[in-house]
Structure 1
């Protein structure tokens, strides 16, 4: 799929990739015919597994890699042959890339000195950048005296200190522990909202992408599989890869038996018949993967709202505080997960119990095989 439902207005596209390809060996394409418009002021995340092409796209935009074919434009001007230091783009890397022999203030002043700003202007901008990342008292510290989170804040401040209109971030939180990573996600998101700069962010962490982004481009095999806002990407995945990569997802396999308008009936491999939303299948006889989120499944359902109801055997229960992750054997799958809200009631389900599970047709998406 060439991507992306993105017919933006010309004056709205801050960055534009047109028919961009990249090959390192002259044969295998790491990026295939990329067409992507990045809106001015948005936070766009390039998300995907290792080797999917997302980082290569970022490196081509930064100027560290050259496209094999196609064009890349910034503010309507082609930048294919412009060297990295002349593109005016801020960069933040996973390894911080701070100069160890310079103080925090000197690290922040470096890109300003390269641009030959006056001393007073440099001091004012460094001060403002440190306040922005809530580190005004750390100017005289050396990088080695900072924690990982503090070093990453300085790296973000350095990328923003010369007031670029575009900032690229390559897995910037990958080296941090879970709590610090989550804290930094919110801080970077708030900085983006306050400054209004365009951010292009690369990660393989789907929860990070959902938390921070205005839009997410999901990459696989050098192609954007889907480009959408986080709620749409999670609730309405367009194919089986996106459904499996974004969030936890139950998969059931079968063959389309009937298809009518937006609905279809899929005969699963164990013989069960499931009513589903017809998303990425054409008609009867076609193989399909059914996608169903664990939080959309109900145990002991009541009423006609759940046309899909089956007996299931409870295989595993994991207590996770706000919900119980319940793994059941149903419809031929022993890896089917139900997230049961923890209401603190007695008489909980136990391993080995047989329960009734159900879900609506609208929450079950018939996707490609």
Structure 2
């Protein structure tokens, strides 16, 4: 396969989906996924991400457009002939079969001989560190163990593409985080292509090579986790990925990529002009809590803030302040000896670098 084809292992070409013939759940989706990539479709409920996954799997049919896998159009190919591994949130294991029989099932469907089946089942169980569970039934396993078996079953026939639909949603927080790393490491070891659906932003940031952020049937931004967090291109992405402070204002001037914004309380602040329109237009300023500087550290956009609440969170202290009339303005203070200490009721100087303050659209303000 050529390098160009590698960059287009999975292709959505002008794909649309409507269930009622009027309203589009997916609107003109164009997306290329490279071979060996871990791509996450992230978004709130109803954003279209799961519908896209189901169309790729073959459980839903595109209303318009074409889906290709390895250069071949698959719109009219049934799911069982697409050679795609699937992992669901509810595991979908056969309760009457043992773990070994569950894993052997997709191999039997593909007419793989008994000796090869046994070898592949053992290899898949070893991948997920479940070698000793071959003869147990799903009901005898914990939720985390069942998820490992579901993952092994998706990998057992060595597919080039694995789809995962909220696979960790039913697990507790600690186990979910552990499984995130396990899946990421398996992806790296096997070199398979993974398309992963979740509404959990931390999961997407932890595991993915790239993340497609969906809202209203459209990809709002497609980028690496770092790019999404550090450089969101609109207010929806800024507010969906991580925590941020929001200040409303009107653009006063724009000079290249720098803007001066007059806030609603009359103060002015400097910001990056990312997606804010022309002078005179309304804008939303987005500032990450960890980029807010206190006291002597503050050099740009310095203003006074009243400390309203302090919450101890171990590695940092969450400081809620009144800044420019916003009483939910948050700063994260590292829990380190050299960190500036503040007290509730105290008035302090705060500020933020202009490059860490993004002037964005106001549609979701």
Q: Which interval holds the TM-score relative to the shorter structure?
A: over 0.9
The DSSP-based 3-state class of the residue aligned with 1:362 is helix
Per the TM alignment, residue 302 of structure 1 is displaced from its structure 2 partner at its CA by: 3.7
Alpha-carbon separation, structure 2, partners of 1:69 and 1:301? 58
Alpha-carbon separation, structure 1, partners of 2:92 and 2:66? 29
TM-score scaled by length of structure 2: 0.97
Alignment of 1:38-53 (within 5 A): 38-53=33-48
Alpha-carbon separation, structure 2, partners of 1:223 and 1:260? 31
Per the TM alignment, residue 108 of structure 1 is displaced from its structure 2 partner at its CA by: 0.3
Give the corresponding residue for 1:271: 266
Give the corresponding residue for 2:329: 336
Per the TM alignment, residue 301 of structure 1 is displaced from its structure 2 partner at its CA by: 3.3
Per the TM alignment, residue 345 of structure 1 is displaced from its structure 2 partner at its CA by: 6.3
Give the corresponding residue for 1:357: 350
Q: Which runs of 5+ in 1 are unaligned?
A: 1-7
1:323 aligns with 2:285: no
For these two proteins, the number of residue pairs brought into alignment is 360
1:99 aligns with 2:74: no
Alpha-carbon separation, structure 1, partners of 2:9 and 2:338? 53
Alpha-carbon separation, structure 1, partners of 2:353 and 2:340? 26
The DSSP-based 3-state class of the residue aligned with 1:202 is strand
The DSSP-based 3-state class of the residue aligned with 2:250 is strand
Q: Provide, for residues 92-145 of structure 1, a one-character-per-residue CA deviation record: whole Å limited to 9, x for no partner.
A: 000000000100000000000000101000000000000000111110111111
Alignment of 1:289-304 (within 5 A): 289-302=284-297
Q: Is the 8 A contact 2:295 2:340 kept in 1?
A: no
Per the TM alignment, residue 347 of structure 1 is displaced from its structure 2 partner at its CA by: 8.3
Alpha-carbon separation, structure 1, partners of 2:195 and 2:338? 45
The DSSP-based 3-state class of the residue aligned with 1:32 is strand
Give the corresponding residue for 1:64: 59
Alpha-carbon separation, structure 2, partners of 1:13 and 1:347? 50
Per the TM alignment, residue 310 of structure 1 is displaced from its structure 2 partner at its CA by: 0.7
RMSD: 1.2
Q: Alpha carbons of 1:223 and 1:273: their partners in 2 closer, same or farther (altered >3 Å)?
A: same
Alpha-carbon separation, structure 2, partners of 1:136 and 1:103? 13
1:256 aligns with 2:276: no
Q: Is the 8 A contact 2:5 2:70 kept in 1?
A: no
The DSSP-based 3-state class of the residue aligned with 1:265 is strand
TM-score scaled by length of structure 1: 0.96
Q: Which runs of 5+ in 2 are unaligned?
A: none
Q: Is the 8 A contact 1:301 1:358 kept in 2?
A: no
Per the TM alignment, residue 282 of structure 1 is displaced from its structure 2 partner at its CA by: 2.9
Give the corresponding residue for 2:73: 78
